[in-house]
Structure 1
């Protein structure tokens, strides 16, 4: 009887609506607007905050080429995508409004807009990416040292909770120092680096970000020559070189922050290009999920519901160790497989259709 009730619940319960998540929320959004009156300044500031926040959401979820092809939207158009907003802080004068806002967008409205314009999109949040910031200056290689300004800059972005591609930087505690050195990091030993990634539950790529102070003797940080070594869990390696120059009146901390942003931009562009969903006609595939408990199935179902390549989820049978059904899939199957790997699942094709399971 219990098994029958469980089967009935799985088959007949309505598919839960996909909840709006942090990917569609932007906070804080700073605004500073002057107009003919305080009321007009606030109205314009709210419109500006919504536009800035919408641009941020699009930048998270799409690739630059697709964004450039989107139509220009009015303030009223963008307001139609807003689920709600709240004021974090504000100051007003007779003609000025200065504030900080949180803006939340309707997930359904934004995704519909992007799909109507055939935009490749990224909705799946990747597993955290480990960053090992190695710094070289005056013949000295540094990783955990307190005087490593490169690691200090990366500490400021570690553990991002709102990006689709979060990054994590090790704490540099006793265990980290014992298990990893700057020399080991730049050696590219994937086994050693994966152990460090596992310690921080960083299941995504591991990146050794090497920054070399390459400026003249009187200002070594006038130029940072950077090499980004990106290692996938399976062992594939990609290398990218970047240069960042110090701007006029830019101090060391600002230079390091600019260099960190440049590396993150390159990493996110590469990740988005790999995970973007192509606008391909949807089709149904038969799937058997290999799970050991109801809790395991619910965890997998949540991942499937949040995956933009998957539309309708149909459950037709529940048995000991499996759930059988079908998925309506849009886009390239290989890209779906990559996205599920990033969430800790394998999608493989067998004799009787596709199977989904933990590695």
Structure 2
């Protein structure tokens, strides 16, 4: 390399680093409001002529992968082929900040786990310009009760229950099968429809058993849901068997409490390692859950409504708390207080999308929107 080329290369590297440092300095500003636009667990490994250049290369690659993971998270899978391809110089201004963990270096090599936070409004503008539907809504957690059919016996808490172990490994410990990098990026992200696997302690064992779970016993499920503060329960039963060719098959049935829907039955095969097969099945189930949630909560920017509501309050602190919950909803574009007294507030909420979507979003914040013959009330949900 000539001195001139080396000089230009160093200048470019310094410019990129300065830009990333400037972006990093804004990170705390966005942290509270942009959780859904935070992308974690982007593992990078880059080599270049020098370690600093490898670092710059790794961050550039990482931000591109992070953006794509974010867009796949927000956009329904049926539209993933239409995700716009941006150049690296167009992606960097979209980054609100980034963090580095597990940094390791070697001559001409850089490795790290990166977290990126993207600017919400700028990403929204890109998606709207591309006419892509997307959802930002985050649900309250669902409880998962993994039942393993061991011959004629149904096992929930008892050992061995390899099906429950696989759920704990994936949800609590982040264990993933050896899958493609793009799938690893997606699997590392926080779920828009989170799930909780019970600890399996004495209180859980006392609350519900495998038979009660399989029959969706309302009383038993209600007890364990209250323990974990979840809004529903998925009872997922698994049977491991061999097909006629001797290959492993994992048969799974899914039921959800409180919903009048048919049992969903799936079969997974093609992998001879039972742990790998179960982990892969869990990731597929989780992805389907996320897709269902996204489809229900797609933001329709073509429909904006303003709703007048009355809220019963216990004081100023209670009023401010309720206001904050509503303002933080991605579908809410504005609020305006019309009248305020010691015990009641009359206000307007301007929102995107349908009334049903607004109700669902408010319910995730423990707020209940009720139509009283055209007179709408919005109050804290009764426990």
Same fold flag (TM > 0.5): yes
| 2:249 paired residue number | 223
Q: Over aligned residues, Cα RMSD in angstroms?
A: 2.6
Q: Does 1:312 align with 2:339?
A: no
SS, match of residue 131 in structure 1:
strand
| 2:271 paired residue number | 247
Q: How many equivalent pairs are there?
A: 338
| 1:5 paired residue number | none
Asked whether the 8 Å contact 2:50–2:107 carries over to 1, the reply is yes
Cα deviation code 1:56-79 (max 9, x no counterpart): 222332212344333221222222
- Relative distance call for 1:229 and 1:64 in structure 2 (3 A) is same
Superposed displacement of residue 152, structure 1: 1.1
The unaligned stretches of length 5 or more in structure 2 are: 1-28, 175-188
Q: Does 1:208 align with 2:247?
A: no
What is the correspondence of 1:2-17 to structure 2 with a 5 Å cutoff?
none
- Relative distance call for 1:17 and 1:37 in structure 2 (3 A) is closer
Q: Does 1:175 align with 2:222?
A: no
SS, match of residue 80 in structure 1:
helix
Q: Does 1:124 align with 2:146?
A: no
Cα deviation code 1:302-355 (max 9, x no counterpart): 221121211011112112332111111111111111222232222223356432
Asked whether the 8 Å contact 1:244–1:259 carries over to 2, the reply is yes
Residue from 84, 94, 98 that aligns with 1:71 = 84
- Relative distance call for 1:166 and 1:339 in structure 2 (3 A) is same
| 2:45 paired residue number | 32
| 1:21 paired residue number | 34
Q: Output the CA distance in 2 between the equivalents of 1:314 and 1:169.
A: 40
Asked whether the 8 Å contact 2:34–2:117 carries over to 1, the reply is no
Asked whether the 8 Å contact 2:71–2:83 carries over to 1, the reply is no
The unaligned stretches of length 5 or more in structure 1 are: 1-15
Q: Output the CA distance in 2 between the equivalents of 1:285 and 1:18.
A: 30
Residue from 139, 148, 167 that aligns with 2:161 = 148
- Relative distance call for 1:284 and 1:73 in structure 2 (3 A) is same
Asked whether the 8 Å contact 1:88–1:101 carries over to 2, the reply is yes
Q: Does 1:269 align with 2:291?
A: yes
What is the correspondence of 1:160-199 to structure 2 with a 5 Å cutoff?
162-199=190-227
Superposed displacement of residue 223, structure 1: 1.1
Q: Does 1:81 align with 2:107?
A: no
Q: Output the CA distance in 1 between the equivalents of 2:321 and 2:137.
A: 15
- Relative distance call for 1:288 and 1:305 in structure 2 (3 A) is same
Superposed displacement of residue 141, structure 1: 1.5
Residue from 360, 369, 372 that aligns with 1:338 = 360
Cα deviation code 1:268-314 (max 9, x no counterpart): 11122122222323232222223333333223222211212110111
SS, match of residue 122 in structure 1:
coil
- Relative distance call for 1:219 and 1:290 in structure 2 (3 A) is farther
SS, match of residue 156 in structure 1:
helix
- Relative distance call for 1:72 and 1:260 in structure 2 (3 A) is same
Structure with greater proportional helix content: 2
Q: Output the CA distance in 2 between the equivalents of 1:281 and 1:178.
A: 48
Q: TM-score under structure 2 normalisation?
A: 0.80
